[in-house]
């Protein structure tokens, strides 16, 4: 989709916080796996992206196990998953570090998925959003929980043009998978 006058394309940055992780004893933070809830919620996030037409052209994902597994489970819900780049700079990154990675995105990518961690992702969404639809900004300010999905839209010639205050936060959702039903004896 092109902007006003047919110029610059509409771009979307889809921000997905990794699903709920486990805290096993003796496991380094980078290697923490998803918890059972995370294994349910990550596919729900993938389904939600497909239902809203937000399947990306490219995904950028932290190298942490919980982020990689979130990506795998979400992408498995799509007919044709996009290419993914696992970038160690996204693990524990702050807003300037995340933006450095995003700014390297090729100009032909119109929808980019970013899979990573808080507090960096929450702060990124709040920094980039000059405005938001409905109460999406208030929701992010309140909490950006695991499996949260924020969609930011903006017009720009390339990804280097994405700077604080230039995007519209079009939605913020927290997809959840179904809890297992207790077995009756």
pLDDT exceeds cutoff 50 at 5: no
- In the numeric block, the tokens 């696992």 are attached to 86
Q: What is the pLDDT confidence band of residue 2, given thresholds at 50, 70 and 90? A: very low
Q: What is the pLDDT confidence band of residue 9, given thresholds at 50, 70 and 90? A: confident
Are the beta carbons of 14 and 49 closer than 8 angstroms? Answer: yes
**Residue 131: burial class (beta carbons within 10 Å; 0-12, 13-18, 19+):** exposed
Token reading at 6 = 């047919």
- In the numeric block, the tokens 């780049």 are attached to 85
180 occurs within a structural domain: no
Instruction: Return the pLDDT at 71.
Output: 98
Instruction: Return the pLDDT at 134.
Output: 87
The per-residue pLDDT for range 17-31, each reduced to its tens digit, is: 999 999 999 999 999
**pTM for the predicted model, two decimal places:** 0.92
127 occurs within a structural domain: yes
pLDDT (mean) for 27-56: 95
Residues 6+ apart with CB under 8 A from 36: none
181 occurs within a structural domain: no
Single out the residue of 63, 92, 29 nearest to residue 71, CA to CA: 63
Read off the CATH number of the domain in which 86 is found: 3.40.50.1240
Domain carrying residue 41: 10-22+30-173
- What span, in angstroms and rounded, lies between the C-alpha atoms of 126 and 152? 10
Instruction: Return the pLDDT at 181.
Output: 64
185 occurs within a structural domain: no
Could you give the number of structural domains in the chain?
1
The per-residue pLDDT for range 87-134, each reduced to its tens digit, is: 999 999 999 999 999 999 999 999 999 999 999 999 999 999 988 888
59 occurs within a structural domain: yes
The per-residue pLDDT for range 152-182, each reduced to its tens digit, is: 999 999 999 999 999 999 999 999 988 776 6
Instruction: Return the pLDDT at 28.
Output: 97
Are the beta carbons of 152 and 129 closer than 8 angstroms? Answer: yes
2 occurs within a structural domain: no
pLDDT (mean) for 73-86: 96
145 occurs within a structural domain: yes
């Amino acid at each position: 989709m092109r902007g006003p006058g047919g110029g610059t394309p509409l771009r979307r940055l889809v921000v997905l916080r990794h699903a709920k992780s486990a805290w096993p004893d003796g496991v380094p933070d980078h290697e923490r796996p998803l918890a059972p809830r995370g294994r349910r919620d990550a596919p729900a996030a993938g389904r939600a992206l497909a239902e809203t037409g937000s399947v990306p052209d490219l995904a950028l994902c932290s190298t942490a196990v919980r982020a990689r597994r979130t990506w795998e489970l979400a992408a498995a819900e799509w007919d044709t998953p996009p290419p993914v780049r696992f970038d160690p700079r996204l693990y524990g990154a702050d807003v300037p570090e995340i933006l450095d990675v995003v700014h390297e995105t090729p100009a032909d990518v119109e929808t980019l998925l970013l899979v990573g961690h808080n507090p960096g992702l929450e702060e990124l969404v709040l920094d980039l959003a000059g405005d938001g639809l409905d109460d999406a900004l208030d929701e992010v300010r309140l909490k950006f929980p695991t499996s949260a999905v924020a969609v930011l839209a903006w017009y720009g010639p390339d990804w280097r043009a994405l700077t604080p205050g230039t995007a519209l936060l079009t939605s913020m959702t927290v997809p959840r998978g179904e809890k297992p039903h207790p077995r009756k004896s």
